Amino acid sequence: MPESIISAQIPVTAGNPVGETLDAVQVTVSSVNVDRQVVVVGDPATGAQYAEVTPKGTQADNALGVQDLKDSGRQAFNFVIPAQTAASTTTATAVSNLTQNANWTQTTGVTAFAIPSGKTLRIQAMTAAAATQTVTTTTTTRAALVVQVRVATTNTTTAIAAGVVACELELPNLIATSVGGVGGLVADVGFPDGVEIPYGNAAGNYVGITYLVQGTGTVIMQLLGGSVVGFAY
């Protein structure tokens, strides 16, 4: 038989006090008299229809938009690491001349990124390239360059160098066998679920980059460059 849809209003009593907001309303409709039930979300003042919840196999006239929380208020973020030179040491050195892109505003000469109030920084990937520049001993030297993302509550090179390590990228086994040095490597790492760094306490959190060279003998490393990519939300 032809489908018949009747529009009607059902009064709902919220109880006491009057004006209480209902968390849910349950409506029971006899299956004997109704072939299909369609729930419509709309504006009762204008009659504008926003979305529908329909049975399986039924095409809705309007779709209900959904969005992950991490995609709400998303702001682009990335660091570009210029070339750096460092002697072999186990002490982390903060990069003080980063090029920062925060929500498509580029700033050079940056030590750290200030996570915006109320937002979380999600790091998605890191990349770096390095080479052995100079070796001052004639003995075989194995060197590894470690690039780290660190978090501190103060925006200074000292604070960043001593900050908490959030993630790191290691370029291992850069080998030099004679004075002058040889060897080079490019490495990258991705974080499928992201490395999340929150805004933190009232002082906020600052995110910076450090590097250190590990190896035997005396070796001068050349960090040719790199990047850290993510977004704040």
- The CA-CA-CA angle for residues 55, 61, 62, to 5°, reads 95
Q: Assess whether pLDDT exceeds 70 at residue 91.
A: yes
Class in CATH terms, 72-232: mainly beta
> In whole angstroms, what is the distance from residue 106 CA to residue 61 CA?
43
User: Mean pLDDT, the chain, as a whole number?
Assistant: 76
| Domain range annotation of the chain | 72-232
Predicted pLDDT at 231: 94
Predicted pLDDT at 102: 93
Residue from 228, 229, 217 nearest 144 by CA? 217
pLDDT, average across residues 137-160: 82
Residue from 192, 193, 176, 185 nearest 226 by CA? 185
Q: Assess whether pLDDT exceeds 70 at residue 113.
A: yes
Tokens of 117: 């109030």
Tokens of 233: 């939300």
Q: Assess whether pLDDT exceeds 90 at residue 21.
A: no
Q: Is the pTM of this model over 0.85?
A: no
Task: Answer yes or no: are the C-beta atoms of 50 and 63 closer than 8 Å.
Answer: no
Print the SS3 string covering 104-159: CEEEEEECEEECCCCCEEEEEEEEEEEEEEEECCCCCEEEEEEEEEEEECCCCHHH
Q: Assess whether pLDDT exceeds 90 at residue 65.
A: no
Residues paired with 52 in a beta bridge: 40
